[in-house]
Amino acid sequence: MKLQVIPVGIYQTNCYLIEEEGLCIAVDPGDGDGAILRYLEKKEKRVNAVIVTHGHMDHFADAAELAGHFQTPIYFPKEECAYLSSAEARRGPYDERIVHIFEKALAQRGVLTEEGEEIRFGSLCFRVIVLSGHSKAGMCLYEASQKILLAGDQLFAGSIGRTDLYRGSGTDLVCGIRQKLLCLPEDTVVLPGHGPHTTIGEEKRSNPFLSEEVLWNL
Ligand SMILES: [Zn+2]
């Protein structure tokens, strides 16, 4: 497996390109200015699938363009999609025009994912782990053979995702990480949506947001 990280946009979102057996997957293409597409064209590469971990603009801004250009599916968490389309979301954080563009792309190319589902590309098999708290219901993807976790904005090196956005919840996020992510093998490499990579073991030992004291105070 070949893994490449390309930080894009003003928030320097980590867009991951994962290549295996001639297939290429783009995870969280969030630039909004076509940077990933330009990069792929320059390298004469194409993508076979687009994965979006959650419904924040800095993670999906280029998803529709990429998927349209290469005629690929867009994998997106189902419950997050339902929320994105809701009246509550439109009253709150989401720009109507952006939601419309994204909904159109999802209607044409969307593959909605749920907890426990497996997404297969060649020999790679990503298990969907849904977590609430950073957004309504984003997803992480765990690939056991390569021991990698695409963590979106749920878990970072030494930190966790912000929980002050719409439908955010510190309790949900910390409990979800402890229950669903910290049980993964300690040498699993965590590939977060921003910043450097880490491991499950390192976060178990040293992430201040996941300590027992924090849990008792929730
Ligand atoms: Zn986010």
pLDDT recorded at residue 179: 95
Q: How is the chain split into domains, by residue range?
A: 2-217
Give Cα 156 to chain centroid, integer Å: 12
Q: What are phi and psi of 209, to 5 degrees?
A: -75, -10
For the residues 149-161, what does the mean pLDDT come to?
A: 97
User: Distance between CA 197 and CA 109 in Å, rounded?
Assistant: 30
For residue 21, the CA-to-ligand 1 centroid distance in Å is: 30
Provide the terminal-to-terminal Cα distance of the chain, rounded to the nearest Å: 39
For residue 135, the CA-to-ligand 1 centroid distance in Å is: 7
Higher-confidence residue: 156 or 166?
Answer: 156
The answer to whether the beta carbons of residues 200 and 182 sit under 8 Å apart is yes
pLDDT in tens, 202-217: 999 999 999 876 655 5
pLDDT recorded at residue 93: 60
Long-range pairs, 170-173, Cβ under 8 A, ≥24: 170/133, 170/218, 171/133, 171/218, 172/131, 172/132, 172/133, 173/131, 173/132, 173/133, 173/134
User: Distance between CA 188 and CA 43 in Å, rounded?
Assistant: 29
For residue 25, the CA-to-ligand 1 centroid distance in Å is: 20
pLDDT in tens, 116-131: 999 999 999 999 999 9
For residue 153, the CA-to-ligand 1 centroid distance in Å is: 5
Domain 2-217 indexed as CATH 3.30.70.260: no
pLDDT recorded at residue 86: 79
Q: What are the structure tokens assigned to 201, written together?
A: 């073991």
For residue 57, the CA-to-ligand 1 centroid distance in Å is: 8
The answer to whether the beta carbons of residues 173 and 120 sit under 8 Å apart is no
For residue 71, the CA-to-ligand 1 centroid distance in Å is: 25
pLDDT in tens, 54-78: 988 899 889 989 999 999 999 999 9
For the residues 142-166, what does the mean pLDDT come to?
A: 95
